[in-house]
Structure 1
Amino acid sequence: MVSTATIISMFVPIVVSIGLFVGLILVYRKKTGIAVKPVVIGALGFVVATQILEKVLHVVVITNFPNYSDHPWLFGLYGGMAAGLFEELARFLLFIWLLKKFHDYKGGISFGIGWGGIEAVLLVLMTVVPNLIFAFMINSGTFESSLAGSIPADQLAGMKETIVNQGVSFYLLGSLERFFAIFLQIVFSLFVLLAVVKKKFSYVVYAILIHAAIDFPLAFYQTGHLKNLWVIEIYMAIIGLLSFVFIKKARNILPHTTR
């Protein structure tokens, strides 16, 4: 059985992710102003770059290398570089093709909120909502009977064990991770915009490498070689705090325009 407390905690990251997206728009509307077009383009850019194009590559790679979890170092290198390439190049192309009139601090912030906000919402909905549905099925006794025909018995048992054993802290910490991750996406958006403004593509290369370096350690948790979720959350918190500093500094580096 999945405890009532765990089921309630599953709603927390859903509320937090949606609240963050909406809250950042409201906060920055007062602080710097919000440009609607970059928010929309940023959100659509994330979906196309990561949920379509990058996932096509992942399907090909994982299909040909099914034992990737046995090699966390290589998996981390591949995963980090793939994320960096698809996301940072997509940001760069969107800024120079579709957002030519938004090469200012407000445009960068707006784009980052759109990109990071939709990431927070989609990733939570795709991971937590299925777990929530499965939790209700487990508690009602219909989990095995409903999924037996579509999922092998050993995988079904593993899924059930995972959902039952994931406690309240798992979902609460996940909410904290989303909080810091969204600010990191704003940082990358501002950094790539800086590359566009200063006409230095080398900054995009730096963004790709930094993105890959940040994502690399996460592979050890994803492949099961690192069990302690607290290590990941502390790591993300440090990255998040550094992100706050950069966002503040970027205000004095990027141009400001009034529309």
Structure 2
Amino acid sequence: MENTLHFETGAIIGLIIEAVLVIALPVIALIIWKKKTKEPLFPVLIGAVSFIGFGLLLKSIPALLLLTGDNPVAKAITGNVWLSAIIGGGLLAGIFEEGGRFISYKFFLKKYKSKKTAIFYGIGHGGIESAYVGYNALMFAAMGIIINGGGIDTIIGNLDESTKATALAQLGSYANSPLYFPAVLGTLERIAAMIFHTSMSVFVFAAAREKKYIFLFPLAIILHTAMNSMVGFVNSGMISVIALEFIMLAYALVIAFFAYKLYKSIEETIPNK
């Protein structure tokens, strides 16, 4: 097929810069926190595995039924901007990711009593997601180079017409992006996400360890739903990408303030109760 798609050099460079920065971000955070606390790294691994298991794999099951299934419920959700953003974009992530945190603290990390565990878990959870985003950025950069070299058929040649149109639209959204879009805004989004995930990890740690804080678990689901729903509103054109990134950062910072106050107020070590 004729290649009418071309990736701007700035777009490719921006994607590569984004990939490097968002992969480096959790690594740097982990090195700093490990050096500061000298605590074991196992909670980081559990945080990463929890995101993959709960946030990607298990979440995909109801997502398939509610968002892509040929049934009245799926059609009602996907046909409504608000339902699609809140349920598809936010609520499923809130339930499964925060549920994963709670279960991890209760069962897989029950021997880790230090509140520092929450920060390590947050770095693992947010870090693997950041690495996943960085990997995708590298893949799009690589596809851009292949497409510019005339190899678009190697990427979409075997797709059916409907899927091909969707793939071209997605690739096109990256092809003409100015350098700062992925490099700056993409990195800003990951910073906000890392701050947010660490804050949620503190909230749910307290909820899992002390009954008086159990209300923080459903609160974390609500806050997570609100955070992720914002992306759905961008997809619908209700707010711009630039506005979204700064709103998400401000939102994450406000929540981080309360998470910090909570972190300072709870005991240094809290066993499961």
The TM-score normalised by the length of structure 1 is 0.89
Deviates more, 1:99-108 or 1:81-90: 99-108
**Considering only aligned residues, what root-mean-square deviation do their CA atoms show, in Å?**
2.1
Asked whether 1:21 is paired with 2:26, we answer yes
> Aligned residues: percent identity?
27
Gaps of 5+ in 2: 1-5
Whether the 8 Å contact between 2:8 and 2:177 is mirrored in structure 1 is no
Asked whether 1:32 is paired with 2:37, we answer yes
- Per-residue CA distance 1:196-254 (angstroms, 9 max, x = gap): 222243221111112112222221113x3236211111111202322442343233223
- In the alignment, the residues of structure 1 paired with residue 265 and residue 49 of structure 2 have an alpha-carbon distance, to the nearest angstrom, of 27
- In the alignment, the residues of structure 2 paired with residue 145 and residue 66 of structure 1 have an alpha-carbon distance, to the nearest angstrom, of 33
Whether the 8 Å contact between 1:138 and 1:160 is mirrored in structure 2 is no
Asked whether 1:147 is paired with 2:152, we answer no
Counterpart in the other structure of 1:215: 228
Distance verdict in 2 for CA 1:27–1:48, change over 3 Å: same
What is the aligned counterpart of 1:245 among 234, 257, 262? 257
Q: How does 1:73-152 map to 2 (within 5 A)?
A: 73-79=82-88, 80-125=90-135, 127-144=136-153, 146-152=155-161
Give the SS at the match of 1:102.
coil
Whether the 8 Å contact between 2:119 and 2:202 is mirrored in structure 1 is yes
Letter matched to residue 29 of structure 1? K
Counterpart in the other structure of 1:162: 173
- Per-residue CA distance 1:58-102 (angstroms, 9 max, x = gap): 122222236855422001221321111111111111101111122
- In the alignment, the residues of structure 1 paired with residue 82 and residue 102 of structure 2 have an alpha-carbon distance, to the nearest angstrom, of 28
- In the alignment, the residues of structure 1 paired with residue 21 and residue 49 of structure 2 have an alpha-carbon distance, to the nearest angstrom, of 21
Letter matched to residue 12 of structure 1? I
Deviates more, 1:229-238 or 1:141-150: 141-150
Distance verdict in 2 for CA 1:166–1:199, change over 3 Å: same
Distance verdict in 2 for CA 1:256–1:246, change over 3 Å: same
Q: CA deviation at 1:151?
A: 4.2
Give the SS at the match of 1:248.
helix
Asked whether 1:205 is paired with 2:218, we answer yes
- In the alignment, the residues of structure 1 paired with residue 227 and residue 30 of structure 2 have an alpha-carbon distance, to the nearest angstrom, of 26
What is the aligned counterpart of 1:189 among 177, 201, 224? 201
Whether the 8 Å contact between 1:35 and 1:106 is mirrored in structure 2 is no
Whether the 8 Å contact between 1:116 and 1:181 is mirrored in structure 2 is yes
Distance verdict in 2 for CA 1:197–1:149, change over 3 Å: closer
Aligned pairs, number: 255
Whether the 8 Å contact between 1:103 and 1:255 is mirrored in structure 2 is no
Distance verdict in 2 for CA 1:59–1:130, change over 3 Å: farther
